[in-house]
Structure 1
C-alpha cells in the first residue's frame, strides 16, 4: 500500500510541476526563513504575533532554518541523542502549537555543522556522520511533532555551492549525503523537502554556469528532494542583478530535467562592514522581478530578520513591502 501511495504522490508532483511551468507566478513571498538564535525562547503568544505579522503580507509558511547544531551538540527541542544539550524551551513544539492555532505552516530544518564551510567533500567519513546524525534527528522530529497540522515540510540546511563540487567524486559524495537524509525522511513522511544552494558569480572563471547546471543535475538527481530554493546571493554580494537571468535560466533547465521545483530565495539584506542591514525596498523588487520567469515560488531571507513589522527599526521596510503586496492583490 505504501508503494502505491508513493507512486500516486510522485504522479501528483509531476502534474504540479507541469502546471506551474505554464503558470506565471506572482512575485510575492510565500515563505520566510527564521534562525533559532532569534526565536528559541519565544512563548506561544510571541510566535502568534510573528505569524500574524507574516500573514498580513501573504506569507503562510515559516522555515526554521536549523534545529540542531551537530558541532556543538545542541538542540532547540528535548532530544534524546547522547551527549547533546537541549534548549530550556521546546522551540519546535511552541512554534508548531502556535501555528496550529492560526493556520500557519512550519517547515522544519534539520541539523547543521558549521564545519560544512571548511570541509573537503572527499571526506566521506564526515559526510556519513552528518547523514547518520540527521537520520536520528528526522526520526525524533517525526515521532515528537508529526501530529501537528502545521508541520508542512522539511528543510535540509546544508547549502551547496560551486566550489564544493568541482569533480564527479565530490558531486557523487554530496548526492549520497542528500539521498541518505532525504531517504530517512521519505521512509516516515510524505511531506516535501527543500534545500537552498547558491551560485557565486565571482567564481565564474573556475565554475561557469554550464558547469554549475551540470553539478545541479549530478548532485540533486534522484535524491528525493522536492524543492530547489536557489539563493540569489544579491545581499551577500556574490551576484549582481544583471547576473540573475542567466543564473536562474541555467538552474531552471537543470531542475526541470531532474524533476525539481525551482524557488528563489530572495536575500532581503545588504552586507556591510558593520554587519548585515535591511536592503533597500527598490532593490528587493528588482530581485523578485528578475527571477519571476524562472521559479514557482519565492522565499525571503528574511522578513523575520530584516523587514520585521514587530521590530521598531524595521517597520518602514515592512510597510513598503506591505503596500507592494496589496498592489499585487488588485
Structure 2
C-alpha cells in the first residue's frame, strides 16, 4: 500500500498542492468603463473558476487634481451595479475601493507638511462623503470598503508624520464601520528604500496605526519585485500581527517587475512594468502563504497576469489549470 502511494506521488511535482486563492484584486482603469456587461461576466466567471470567492476593486474612481487638464474618471453606478449583481450570482463577495487621488506618492514623498495636511484632509473628505452617499453596502455581494492607499515605512519615518497618517486612517475607519459595519481593508508593504531613521520600521509604524485605527491590514508579499527574499523583511510585521491577534490577509503577487536593470527602487507606480510570474515561483509563494496565518490569501492579480492576453499570462494560466486537474 505504501509503495502504491509512493508511486502515485511520482513525479514529485504532481504531489504539490495546487495554489488556492480566496480572492484577487480588480484594478479598474478608464478603458474598463467601456466594457460590455458580457466582457465583465466573462472575466468574473474566469476568476471564479480559479476558486476566488472575494474580489477587491482597488478603486472606483481616480481623482487627478490636475489644474491644466482634467483626467478624472469614475465608474458609473450602472457598472458597479452590474459587477455586484454578477458577483452575487457567482458567489463572490466584493470589497469596493474608495476614490483614489493619484497625487498620493507625490505628496507623501515631499517634505511640505502643509501640503500633506491639506491632502489628507481633502482625501478624507472625499472618501467619507462617498461612503456616506453610497448605497452599495446594502447589496448582498458587498463585503466592505477598501482604502486604496498603500502603506510603507519609508514615507512615514518621522513620528509626527506617522501620527498624521494614523489620525487620517482613524477618520476613514470610523466612517467605513458606520456605513458598512466592517473595518476597512488596506494593503501594506516593505519599502526597499532606506528609511532616514534607523528605528523607522514597518512594524513600528503599524504599532502606531493599530493603536489609533480599526483596520484590516493586507500584507503584500513583495515577490513581484524582490522574489521570495521579500518575506524576510516582512517577518517583524507578520510577528506583530500574530502576537497581537490582529487578523490580516496576505497578497501574493503574480507578476515579475521588469524595470530596467539598475533602475532605482521606486514607491508607487513610477516606471513600473511587469509580466506574469512563472507557476513555479507562484507555487513557491503558496508554500509560504498556506502556513502564514493569514485569514485570506489574495492574488494581485488574476487579471491581467493569469486571465490576461499576454503570452506570460497564457503560460501561467495553462500551468495553473494543469495543477488544478
**Structure 1 length normalisation: TM-score?**
0.78
Question: Judging changes above 3 Å, is the alpha-carbon distance between structure 1 residues 132 and 210 closer, same or farther for their aligned structure 2 residues?
Answer: closer
Q: Match of 1:247?
A: 233
Does 157-166 or 117-126 show the bigger shift?
117-126
Q: Match of 1:320?
A: 319
- Unpaired stretches in structure 1, ≥5 consecutive residues: 1-24, 79-89
Question: Judging changes above 3 Å, is the alpha-carbon distance between structure 1 residues 253 and 207 closer, same or farther for their aligned structure 2 residues?
Answer: farther
Question: Could you tell me how far apart the structure 1 residues matched to 2:310 and 2:163 are?
Answer: 47
Q: Match of 2:252?
A: 266
Q: How does 1:24-173 map to 2 (within 5 A)?
A: 28-37=20-29, 39-72=32-65, 73-77=72-76, 90-120=78-108, 122=113, 123-141=116-134, 143=135, 145-173=136-164
Question: Could you tell me how far apart the structure 2 residues matched to 1:214 and 1:258 are?
Answer: 13
CA contact (8 A) 2:167 2:212 kept: no
Question: Judging changes above 3 Å, is the alpha-carbon distance between structure 1 residues 325 and 207 closer, same or farther for their aligned structure 2 residues?
Answer: farther
Q: How does 1:223-234 map to 2 (within 5 A)?
A: 223-226=213-216, 228-234=217-223
Question: Judging changes above 3 Å, is the alpha-carbon distance between structure 1 residues 299 and 306 closer, same or farther for their aligned structure 2 residues?
Answer: same
Q: Match of 2:190?
A: 199
Question: Judging changes above 3 Å, is the alpha-carbon distance between structure 1 residues 76 and 31 closer, same or farther for their aligned structure 2 residues?
Answer: same
Question: Could you tell me how far apart the structure 2 residues matched to 1:43 and 1:259 are?
Answer: 43
RMSD, aligned CA: 2.5
Q: Which runs of 4+ in 1 moved over 4 A?
A: 204-210
Query: Residue deviations 1:185-235, cap 9 Å, x none?
Result: 1112113421011102x3356576982211111123341212x11112221
Q: Match of 1:81?
A: none
CA contact (8 A) 2:221 2:252 kept: yes
Query: Residue deviations 1:76-99, cap 9 Å, x none?
Result: 125xxxxxxxxxxx3211211111
- Unpaired stretches in structure 2, ≥5 consecutive residues: 1-16, 66-71, 261-272
Question: Could you tell me how far apart the structure 2 residues matched to 1:312 and 1:203 are?
Answer: 31
Question: Could you tell me how far apart the structure 2 residues matched to 1:189 and 1:129 are?
Answer: 22
Q: Match of 2:4?
A: none
The count of aligned residue pairs is: 283
Pair member with larger Rg: 2
Question: Could you tell me how far apart the structure 1 residues matched to 2:181 and 2:245 are?
Answer: 17
Question: Judging changes above 3 Å, is the alpha-carbon distance between structure 1 residues 264 and 188 closer, same or farther for their aligned structure 2 residues?
Answer: same
Matched, 1:174 2:165: yes
Following TM superposition, by how much is the alpha carbon of 1:57 offset from its aligned partner in structure 2, in angstroms? 1.5
Does 115-124 or 260-269 show the bigger shift?
115-124
CA contact (8 A) 2:254 2:301 kept: yes
Q: How does 1:290-329 map to 2 (within 5 A)?
A: 290-296=288-294, 297-308=296-307, 311=309, 313=311, 314-326=313-325
Following TM superposition, by how much is the alpha carbon of 1:40 offset from its aligned partner in structure 2, in angstroms? 2.8
Following TM superposition, by how much is the alpha carbon of 1:285 offset from its aligned partner in structure 2, in angstroms? 1.4
Question: Could you tell me how far apart the structure 2 residues matched to 1:293 and 1:31 are?
Answer: 17
CA contact (8 A) 2:289 2:297 kept: no
